[in-house]
Structure 1
């Protein structure tokens, strides 16, 4: 009990010292995150797809769900976007890669003062500007701590409702499935966050925010986001630009657009055996 109290006291001292150090007006930081999402391939393509074909598609999709993101932030705002990488020559099915990239999140801007969330999103050649309020996450502070790099981190948890329509589903439907009552397209997931009060900003990767320190790790359903590098007050500072291009839509409107397009793709893939065709394709 005594050691626990000492740990809290030290953490509070570190927090107040950090607040003073980060109070300068021109403060900026950059955090690099490795994001990995596992995909359940058990029903992918239906029962007619061979295990070999399913493994081939899983291998191709793996790189698309393992990405590096950069969070550029100050005390009140941030921009979170994928790190640009050169495509490897002969990188496989470009049509499939282009299709899957449409389901990748574009640059995301957060402003905690205005409680504003903006996302610059390209979806199948069309540009959208998704406008929303920052999600109100009901964080529960846990008693656990762990070290991530040189930073002492504290655990917090919350429950979040996610929309499954944003996840492409290309499995072949079973006979008579089209006439079934539409199933719910949302589900609740537990989110585990690890944040550090050594960097006292209320920001984090993706749409996560609202803790008394920068979030360095997120575990949510099948996705893990882990900070691998932090640069504080870089010599060359980036301008955090507010996204402004594209057709302005709400999150609900964009979800409806994704759902409609996903259903069209599902119909097109029916009988083809999955991305790239099931067989007899041109060489």
Structure 2
């Protein structure tokens, strides 16, 4: 009888392990809200145009800028892609949105298993940003909320050695993935908040679909390979060239 129960226990544990090893395939719809610092933006508007755009720009920024993204993940690899929409909005917010979407057309690829990401950019020249995923030192709290129908736990950490980040994750979906470059918690990240380049970023899951069929994750390969630091240095140089081309600065009084 003892041999029977031992054999049953071994068989049962094997079934459980196989179930845990079976990959999950998820599609998650996120919405990103960007909150801009009005003073930072208006000082970059040429002086002769400020009186025309100041009030409508302030109103639009107060409303917030919203962009939709979709995460496709199998727990080991993922693709995070902006959902493009036709935008004929000529308001200040519409123009800001057009600039953001022009830079963010290509999907972000994350390899959770190997700890790196890839992000293509085309700025007249094709680049392929490749860098390590940040090792965010998370601190899990006891605070809980409901997001997209899931119980989520709050965690705090620091990105890039200086950017505070808050995230809410659900242990019910056992994968260390999340929106954008945020990852590393013991469950899918459903919401995150941080500040970057003077903008407040809030990314929230709106819908989560568990897929039975395997999700194919495309790994980008086109473009000159470059680190994140090297890419932003290239963009800084390009911005300086543009300023020189259009009068050496933004204040042209």
TM-score using structure 1 length: 0.69
Q: In the alignment, which residue of structure 2 is the partner of 1:178?
A: none
TM-score using structure 2 length: 0.77
Q: In the alignment, which residue of structure 2 is the partner of 1:166?
A: none
Q: Is the 8 A contact 1:190 1:220 kept in 2?
A: yes
Question: Against the structure 1 CA distance between its residues 150 and 50, is the aligned structure 2 distance closer, same or farther, given a 3 Å change threshold?
Answer: same
SS at match of 2:56: helix
Q: In the alignment, which residue of structure 2 is the partner of 1:261?
A: 238
Q: Structure 1 stretches of 5 or more lacking a match?
A: 1-17, 163-187, 279-283
Hey, which of these two has a bigger chunk of helix by percent?
A: 2
Q: In the alignment, which residue of structure 2 is the partner of 1:151?
A: 150
Q: Is the 8 A contact 1:118 1:243 kept in 2?
A: yes
Question: Against the structure 1 CA distance between its residues 41 and 229, is the aligned structure 2 distance closer, same or farther, given a 3 Å change threshold?
Answer: same
Q: Is the 8 A contact 1:155 1:193 kept in 2?
A: yes
Is the counterpart of residue 191 in structure 1 residue 165 in structure 2? yes
SS at match of 2:36: coil
Q: In the alignment, which residue of structure 2 is the partner of 1:66?
A: 66
In 2, the alpha carbon distance for the partners of 1:203 and 1:99 equals: 27
Q: In the alignment, which residue of structure 2 is the partner of 1:36?
A: 33
Q: How many residues align?
A: 228
Q: In the alignment, which residue of structure 2 is the partner of 1:231?
A: 209
1:87-106 aligned at under 5 Å gives the runs: 87-88=87-88, 91-92=89-90, 99-104=99-104, 106=106
Is the counterpart of residue 249 in structure 1 residue 233 in structure 2? no
Q: Structure 2 stretches of 5 or more lacking a match?
A: 1-15
Question: Against the structure 1 CA distance between its residues 97 and 197, is the aligned structure 2 distance closer, same or farther, given a 3 Å change threshold?
Answer: closer
Q: In the alignment, which residue of structure 2 is the partner of 1:185?
A: none
SS at match of 2:220: coil
Is the counterpart of residue 82 in structure 1 residue 82 in structure 2? yes
Q: How large is the RMSD of aligned CA atoms in angstroms? A: 3.3
Question: Against the structure 1 CA distance between its residues 270 and 19, is the aligned structure 2 distance closer, same or farther, given a 3 Å change threshold?
Answer: farther
Hey, which of these two has a bigger chunk of strand by percent?
A: 2
Q: Is the 8 A contact 2:30 2:204 kept in 1?
A: yes
